[in-house]
Every structure is written in structure tokens, then in C-alpha cells.
Amino acid sequence: MWSKRQSQLLLVKVSPGGLRPLVIPVPLFVLDLALDAFADLACLFDAFAPKRLRGVSRFNLAGCCTGPASMERMLAVCLQLFRETRQYGRFRLAEVQSGNIRVFIDFY
């Protein structure tokens, strides 16, 4: 695989009709730190929340329920997915057009 530089910014570009486009840069290290902090909070939630609030279940490939999933584990998977997506370098995540309004979401 080609070695690329890790993405550092998430650029949200909103282009309304004939007006000047609005570009909102979001530093990705901030999202990384926030997800990491929420993982610590999820660990506390798993420890102190009643069982009825932790009702999300895991399913194996056969479709049988294997027990409750923890919030900490779900956030760990989201954080791993986010970090893996950053490894691809520059790419366009989404491009949406409705009438004259266009929205782009780019990893830069």
C-alpha cells in the first residue's frame, strides 16, 4: 500500500448558490481526544448504570444474543474506526448537492 500522510483536518465546505463558500476546518486531533475522553466516561457509565440502561445487546453471526455490550467497547470500536479512516490521507468523504447548495466533507 502507498504510504500516505495521516489526515489532520476535516474540512466542511458549504457552497450556497452564487455566494462565497463557507469552509469550516475541524482539527482531527480534537475529535480524537474527545472520543478518548468519552471512552473513560463510558467506563464509568458501565460501572454505575443500572442494567436496564445498558440494554444494548451483541449478536453473533447466527443472530443469537450473546449478552449486553458495554459502552466502553462500542466507543473503543468507534475510536479505532476513526483512527483507521485518518490513515488513508486526503480524500472526499461526502459530496451532497440540493438545488444550488453543495456540501463537501473532506479529510485533508
> Does a structural domain hold residue 4?
no
Provide CB contacts within 8 A for 62, sequence distance 6+: none
| 13 neighbors 21 (Cβ within 8 angstroms) | yes
- Whether 1 is covered by a domain: the verdict is no
Q: Is residue 3 part of a domain?
A: no
Please tell me the distance from the alpha carbon of residue 48 to that of residue 55, in angstroms, as a whole number: 14
Cα 100 from Cα 12, distance rounded (Å): 17
Range of the domain at 63: 9-107
Full pLDDT tens readout for the chain, 108 residues: 555 788 899 999 999 988 899 999 999 999 888 888 888 888 888 788 766 555 555 554 455 555 566 777 788 888 898 889 889 889 999 999 999 999 999 998
Domain membership of residue 32 (yes or no) is yes
Count of domains for the chain = 1
Gap between the Cα atoms of 81 and 39, Å rounded: 14
Flag whether 91 is in a domain. Answer: yes
